[in-house]
Structure 1
Amino acid sequence: MSRRPGGGPGERAARRRFVTVSFLFWLPAGLALAPMVLLLTERGLTLAAVAAAYAAHSLTVAVLELPTGGLSDVIGRRKVLAGAGILNAFALALIALGTTPWVIIPGMALMGAGRALSSGPAEAWYVDTVHADAGPDADLRTGLAHGSAASSGAIALGVLVGGGTPWLLGLGADPGEGLRALTSGLVLPLSVPVLLGAAVHVVFVFYVLAALTEPPRPAATLRGVLRGVPGAIGAGLRLGAGDALIRRILMTTGAAGTALAALELLTPGRAAALTGSPESGAVLFAGLAAAGFVCSALGSRLAPLVARLAGDGERAVLVSLGASAAGLLVLGATVTASGAPAAALAAAGYGLVYLGLGSAGPSESDLLHRRVDTSGRATALSVQSLAQQLTGAAAGLAVGLLPAGPLPWLLAAAVLLAGALLWARRTSRAPAPEWGGA
């Protein structure tokens, strides 16, 4: 049976809504990314306190990742996504207006809770909707690629706006001082992008409630939720242990987490060394981060083409992650070099890492969704996200302990290349184990 290019009207409508939700959710993250550390230090937090704030965020995500994925499978995608938006709006408001660690650190923890709630429900909603409209053999990769591109594009746009807004308000000049005086110091120029992110999350909540319709579910009771969520978590862990393809996806996701941890930890210092000062290095890093997310968005949009040229999704993951590993090798090879050619080559390697990771993501998601059903889809996505976060955290510690120079970059490249080579041998097409969740 031939399929229409781009799918039927129902598929296209679901794709548009998924793209919009993805953009609206990740735009605030980009808005807050550039000014966040500077805002916290301007509020008087020491570097140790800033690290504690980020640790509160990461630990909250790690602790809640699986329970919130199970919650989405039990009570529905829309409710959990709306809850994520509400928590994030409140968290960003606390961070933007807070003046002490006792306000800011709980705000970071709340943001972690919102991040955990958002991990999976939108994608699970999209896949469920397309399957209901067009059957289990419907094309998923195109919509997933568009959603991933929208997420990366939103972060890139947010980084540029979030980094430029304080400057436009006259950071350290009269307009900035006027803003401080008008708000009694509660709102700083650096606070404005974060508050704008909170407002976008309010829009996100209203859009989710209006646009993400889903079939009625049985009324959720506290007893049912308490019984269903642990069952969904256990089923997700069993699925990861019992299915060879999903094990591969999880290990590959962990390898990608290692690459991202290395980039986030090593690039700011390298940018500062290149420009000669931390301040100008921060501006360069913001530009690089935005360019990286643009490359990730481009890679996501190219994912269907890469899969067609490679022959299937598994080969596409191999090719895409191989390209990312090559980018890390370029970064490692140029770390001790100087001059414009070396800087240009390093920038190209940086973009190649994000391009390859963006291209691999939709194919991995397509493979994952063909192995799970709707009863455990969000939990499976949470298991995948948890694998990336935990591996990335461990990799960050390892990279931070290594001596400066090529070695940290080469370690990350080796891990990512090992993840790519997992796909050199085709996975058996045996049926996936039965979900058996809530």
Structure 2
Amino acid sequence: MTEHPPFPEHPPFREEVAPRPSRRALSPTAARRVFLTLTATRWLPIGFVVGLFTLWQLERGLTLAQALTASAVMGIAVLALELPTSGFADALGRRPVLITAAVANVASMLALLVAHSFAAFVVASVLTGIFRALDSGPLEAWYVDTVHASNPGADVDQDLSRSTSMLGLAIAGGALLSGGLVAWHPVESHSALWLPIVVCLVLSVVHLIAVVVLMREPTTHLDSSGLARAAQSARDTPGVIGSGLRLLWHNPVLRGLVLLECFWSTAMIASEALTPVRMAELLGSEERAGVVMGPLAAGAWAVFAVGAWLCGKSSARWGVARAAILGRVVHSVLTIGMALAMGPVGLVVAHLLVYTAHGMQGPAYSALLHREASASNRSTVLSLASMSAFGFTALTMPLAGLLAQSVSTPAAMAAAGAFGLGGVWCLLPALRAERSRPARVAALRACGR
């Protein structure tokens, strides 16, 4: 068995100054309520457009290769901004960074609504990348640190499972309403796909207000020293990259988890970007596909929530690492099967099965990643994983578009699913390390961390 260092032994990405506890800090129970509420307001707007992004681009005149390339720009933006901004949540606080991210989200949805050209969709994608770079990690980090402040070393995999279920239910509800709006088409002066995007924009504003009102955190982060640390974190990006590579080199578990994002995100191209295209091919138009994709996305994220629940059960029974491996295998195999689906009904069934498997991996993966992070670098570690996913997708999504356009959409789906199987190898270090988990948690609690 590979020797795993005591938890957590690796150095933080940056030397942080710990914030002073707030007298009004939330209890774990109250923090859980806020965490789940903001998860819902964050993902409900996405439900209205989750199945329509590519269809909206195609309807506005883009080719499939152009549409997926424009979407891939988001990954490039995340890759460029993730590390320079990753220390902002640690230096300034989780709340101000989440507020800034929510503002960027509103701007990105407004840009998406008015876009009519490849360049305009690229601008919308860049703004979305800014949002995702700032949004990746601070809410989870805030919740985990709040819980650990009163219960050091507590494992939060069950709460993360609940949040993932909430995420799925929020997207499902939004997608179901979106499909109804497309079928209803009450604003005949615009495309049937237009109104769901407007609703998404309005709900994004609601999420911004919810973050401002509900999230509670010490305010001492926004002083001159906090701003100086944030500025320094941006200047330290080259050093952060070096320390990040050293962290990955010395921590095989974290290295595998970060690499897993490359395989996972590529497999997701089949369901997130190519399923609407395939449905439009089978039904004959983007608007007909939009009517189906709303309820289908709702069902997909509903079964995603079921998958997250199954993940919580399997991780409690067999261990978190084994649950993650099971989810990775099932998701990849079913993605390949989706490429072989015959007709609209077959595609619907296959898509639902794929999203069930997608939910089976999410909470286990998040729990494994949090095990390898400490309070001082938790946001940075989460950002590193996010950067890996978005950066690699920026490479593979245009390739998937070219493959679908030159060969066929099912061929691109099958290729994405087969590539996703490589993620199993990335989880083996976590499986070996899990045997020593009880002893490491006991040591952590003994140290009062």
Question: Scaled by the length of structure 1, what TM-score is found?
Answer: 0.80
User: 84, 88, 95: which is aligned to 1:71?
Assistant: 88
- The Cα shift of 1:205 comes to 2.3
Answering whether residue 304 of structure 2 is matched by residue 296 of structure 1, we say yes
Is the 8 Å Cα contact of residues 327 and 351 (structure 1) preserved in structure 2? no
Q: Partners of 1:75 and 1:11 in 2: how far apart?
A: 22
Q: Partners of 1:145 and 1:72 in 2: how far apart?
A: 23
CA 1:401–1:286 in 2, change beyond 3 Å: closer, same or farther? same
Answering whether residue 337 of structure 2 is matched by residue 330 of structure 1, we say yes
Query: Partner of 1:373 in structure 2?
Result: 374
Query: Partner of 1:125 in structure 2?
Result: 142
Query: Partner of 2:129 in structure 1?
Result: 112
CA 1:192–1:269 in 2, change beyond 3 Å: closer, same or farther? closer
AA aligned opposite 1:309: R
Query: Partner of 2:444 in structure 1?
Result: none
CA 1:356–1:75 in 2, change beyond 3 Å: closer, same or farther? same
Is the 8 Å Cα contact of residues 55 and 290 (structure 2) preserved in structure 1? no
SS in 2 for 1:267: helix
Query: Partner of 1:435 in structure 2?
Result: none
Query: Partner of 1:313 in structure 2?
Result: 320
AA aligned opposite 1:115: R
Query: Partner of 2:160 in structure 1?
Result: 144
CA 1:52–1:213 in 2, change beyond 3 Å: closer, same or farther? same
Is the 8 Å Cα contact of residues 75 and 220 (structure 1) preserved in structure 2? no
Query: Partner of 1:358 in structure 2?
Result: 359
Query: Partner of 2:427 in structure 1?
Result: 423
AA aligned opposite 1:14: A
Q: Partners of 1:272 and 1:107 in 2: how far apart?
A: 23
Answering whether residue 231 of structure 2 is matched by residue 226 of structure 1, we say yes
User: 26, 32, 41: which is aligned to 2:49?
Assistant: 32
Is the 8 Å Cα contact of residues 96 and 192 (structure 1) preserved in structure 2? no
Q: Partners of 2:414 and 2:113 in 1: how far apart?
A: 38
Q: Partners of 2:145 and 2:419 in 1: how far apart?
A: 33
Is the 8 Å Cα contact of residues 54 and 108 (structure 1) preserved in structure 2? yes
Answering whether residue 391 of structure 2 is matched by residue 384 of structure 1, we say no
Q: Partners of 1:37 and 1:371 in 2: how far apart?
A: 36
- The Cα shift of 1:115 comes to 2.1
- The Cα shift of 1:363 comes to 1.3
CA 1:347–1:165 in 2, change beyond 3 Å: closer, same or farther? closer
User: 30, 33, 36: which is aligned to 1:13?
Assistant: 30
Query: Partner of 2:177 in structure 1?
Result: 161
Q: Partners of 2:375 and 2:328 in 1: how far apart?
A: 28
CA 1:417–1:109 in 2, change beyond 3 Å: closer, same or farther? closer
Is the 8 Å Cα contact of residues 51 and 276 (structure 2) preserved in structure 1? no
CA 1:31–1:128 in 2, change beyond 3 Å: closer, same or farther? same
After superposition, the C-alpha distances for 1:218-260 in whole angstroms (9 at most, x for unaligned) are: 5245443221345474344432333111111112222111110
Query: Partner of 1:200 in structure 2?
Result: 203
CA 1:277–1:93 in 2, change beyond 3 Å: closer, same or farther? closer
Q: Partners of 1:405 and 1:59 in 2: how far apart?
A: 24
- The Cα shift of 1:297 comes to 1.9
CA 1:89–1:163 in 2, change beyond 3 Å: closer, same or farther? same
Deviation larger for 211-220 or 73-82: 211-220
Query: Partner of 1:413 in structure 2?
Result: 417
Q: Partners of 1:354 and 1:339 in 2: how far apart?
A: 19
Is the 8 Å Cα contact of residues 54 and 273 (structure 2) preserved in structure 1? no
Deviation larger for 123-132 or 362-371: 362-371
Q: Partners of 1:102 and 1:422 in 2: how far apart?
A: 37
Higher RCO (C-alpha under 8 Å, 6+ residues apart): 2
SS in 1 for 2:376: coil
Q: Partners of 2:423 and 2:66 in 1: how far apart?
A: 35
- The Cα shift of 1:273 comes to 3.9
Q: Partners of 1:170 and 1:420 in 2: how far apart?
A: 47
Is the 8 Å Cα contact of residues 182 and 287 (structure 2) preserved in structure 1? no
Deviation larger for 215-224 or 140-149: 215-224
- The Cα shift of 1:25 comes to 1.2
AA aligned opposite 1:313: V
Query: Partner of 1:96 in structure 2?
Result: 113
Q: Which runs of 5+ in 2 are unaligned?
A: 1-25, 442-449
Q: Partners of 2:332 and 2:156 in 1: how far apart?
A: 26
Q: Partners of 2:114 and 2:408 in 1: how far apart?
A: 37
AA aligned opposite 1:225: A
CA 1:100–1:414 in 2, change beyond 3 Å: closer, same or farther? closer
SS in 1 for 2:113: helix
- The Cα shift of 1:150 comes to 1.8
Question: Scaled by the length of structure 2, what TM-score is found?
Answer: 0.78
Q: Partners of 2:96 and 2:286 in 1: how far apart?
A: 43
Is the 8 Å Cα contact of residues 73 and 394 (structure 2) preserved in structure 1? no
Q: Partners of 2:103 and 2:249 in 1: how far apart?
A: 34
Is the 8 Å Cα contact of residues 112 and 124 (structure 2) preserved in structure 1? yes
User: 271, 286, 292: which is aligned to 1:284?
Assistant: 292
Is the 8 Å Cα contact of residues 129 and 214 (structure 1) preserved in structure 2? no
SS in 2 for 1:427: helix
- The Cα shift of 1:127 comes to 0.7
Is the 8 Å Cα contact of residues 84 and 233 (structure 2) preserved in structure 1? no
SS in 1 for 2:139: helix
AA aligned opposite 2:280: A
Q: Which runs of 5+ in 1 are unaligned?
A: 1-8, 181-187, 433-438
CA 1:103–1:353 in 2, change beyond 3 Å: closer, same or farther? closer
AA aligned opposite 1:203: V
Is the 8 Å Cα contact of residues 182 and 193 (structure 2) preserved in structure 1? yes
SS in 2 for 1:135: coil
Identity of aligned residues (%): 30
Query: Partner of 2:261 in structure 1?
Result: 253
AA aligned opposite 1:365: S
Deviation larger for 101-110 or 122-131: 101-110
Q: Partners of 2:328 and 2:92 in 1: how far apart?
A: 35
SS in 2 for 1:373: coil
User: 392, 404, 409: which is aligned to 2:408?
Assistant: 404
- The Cα shift of 1:139 comes to 3.0
